[in-house]
Amino acid sequence: MGEEWNQETDAEDREHKSFFARLKEGLTKTRNNIVRGIDNVFSGFSTIDEEFYEELEEILVMGDIGVNATTQIIDRLKTQVRENHIKQPADCKEFLMQSIKEQMQVGENAYDFEREQSIVMIIGVNGVGKTTSVGKLAGKYKAEGRKVLIAAADTFRAAAGDQLAEWAKRADVPMVGGKEGADPASVVYDAVNAAKARGVDMLLIDTAGRLHNKKNLMEELRKMDRIIDREFPNAHRENFIVLDGTTGQNALVQAREFGDVAELTGIILTKMDGTAKGGIAVAIQSELQVPVKYIGVGEKIEDLQRFDPGDFVDALFDVEPEAQAETVAESVVERETESEPDPVEASFDEAVSEDSSGSGWTMPAWALESIAQEEAARQADPEREQEDSAGEEKKEKVSFWKKLWS
């Protein structure tokens, strides 16, 4: 028995290490984007003064970490520096890392649903990795001994059902589906009843990304919601939005828009292998008050894992995980949960262009404008002094965040 347990923990340890290695590798571009700049500030300043903090702040904002998160990270760092009588900029690095970790802590109860009888709805636009994530999660829960059922409620595309059936086979879990064009709510009805009848622990529902406007999306999600509430009122409910980590600010806009129509309880952040915009992982939690619960670092079944802020920051800063383990464990903080989402309408309806990838996603006009301005500022004058263009870019980023909150 003891030996068996040891083998299991060894296997878990190996899996954790290899996931960490892939994460570290995947964050290379983000590291180049953020950590290099931070290191330059640490080595370029001889004293800790306002200018030092301003430089740090600029790098974090430019690295897509978000204005709120950056302010909180820097404020916490200032307190630590004061309390620990730190004099050398280089000595701040540990504290900065710790501060970012604290910024990203997931609430203690975030994963309770994994042990309960749960229904998890997976939402998000096409192409972000919904189907893949459902398949990977099914494999993970099944391996943990849970009884899993998948519902293929994306009936808009025949291919979506086929793709999910492939994943169900790979994960060795059953799937309930419907014909192309069938009412997704009827698939949910069948799946929920099958889950009840078979004593399923975890029902994962893959939903359609392509819904042309916010009103349709809202109606569709509400309908599914009502059916689940009626048919299985005691189930633990989770709504996860899947966001593509390579899309940076666009991902935030999607989360905000979906947050208006569904009560989001978690984020699955995919494609963290090879994005320069990994800073978004820090921003999302702070800006939207929704925790990142899983991250994806590749296309294979083992490439999706629980999000661990300690590992994430260690991987980002290229530090081995054990070194930080204790301090992170000590710093679990409760997150505030979002109050009622705002009423719907406006921004989806003012959306202007659907993106050409066929994601079914329409960017609201304000976001398109803001991102286009940022792009234009970057491209307008490549000869411009680096500092000037950085200043402009920072202004554009700050204006983006302000619009996101408005």
Q: Which residues bind ligand GDP (CB under 6 A)?
A: 124, 126-132, 209, 242, 270-271, 273, 296-299, 303
Q: Are 280 and 34 contacting, i.e. CB atoms less than 8 angstroms apart?
A: no
Q: How far is the CB of 127 from ligand GDP (least distance, A)?
A: 5
Nearer to ligand GDP, 99 or 275 (CB): 275
Nearer to ligand GDP, 92 or 252 (CB): 252
Q: Are 35 and 313 contacting, i.e. CB atoms less than 8 angstroms apart?
A: no
Residue showing the smallest CB distance to ligand GDP in the complex: 296
Please measure the distance between the N-terminal and C-terminal CA atoms of the chain and give it in whole angstroms.
57
Q: Are 149 and 174 contacting, i.e. CB atoms less than 8 angstroms apart?
A: yes
Q: Are 20 and 311 contacting, i.e. CB atoms less than 8 angstroms apart?
A: yes
Q: How far is the CB of 136 from ligand GDP (least distance, A)?
A: 8
What is the per-residue DSSP string for 342-402?
A: PP--HHHHT--EE-TT----EE-HHHHHHHHHHHHHHHH-TTS-HHHHHHHHHHHHHHHHH
What is the CB neighbour count within 10 angstroms for residue 174?
Answer: 15
Nearer to ligand GDP, 31 or 157 (CB): 157
Q: How far is the CB of 269 from ligand GDP (least distance, A)?
A: 8
Q: How far is the CB of 104 from ligand GDP (least distance, A)?
A: 18
Nearer to ligand GDP, 98 or 305 (CB): 305
Nearer to ligand GDP, 132 or 286 (CB): 132
Q: How far is the CB of 403 from ligand GDP (least distance, A)?
A: 26
Q: Give the list of residues 6+ apart from residue 372 with CB closer than 8 angstroms, or none.
A: none
Nearer to ligand GDP, 67 or 134 (CB): 134
d(CA 287, CA 401): 9
Q: Give the list of residues 6+ apart from residue 1 with CB closer than 8 angstroms, or none.
A: none
Burial of 366 (0-12, 13-18, 19+ CB in 10 A): middle
- The Cβ-side half-sphere exposure at 235, using a 13 Å CA radius, reads 25
Q: How far is the CB of 212 from ligand GDP (least distance, A)?
A: 16
Q: List the structure tokens of 249.
A: 């600010």
Looking up tokens 């970012």, which residue turns up?
Answer: 100
d(CA 122, CA 18): 26
Q: Are 165 and 176 contacting, i.e. CB atoms less than 8 angstroms apart?
A: no
Nearer to ligand GDP, 41 or 242 (CB): 242
d(CA 361, CA 343): 20
Q: How far is the CB of 82 from ligand GDP (least distance, A)?
A: 40
Nearer to ligand GDP, 77 or 137 (CB): 137
Nearer to ligand GDP, 12 or 299 (CB): 299
Q: How far is the CB of 130 from ligand GDP (least distance, A)?
A: 3
Q: How far is the CB of 299 from ligand GDP (least distance, A)?
A: 4
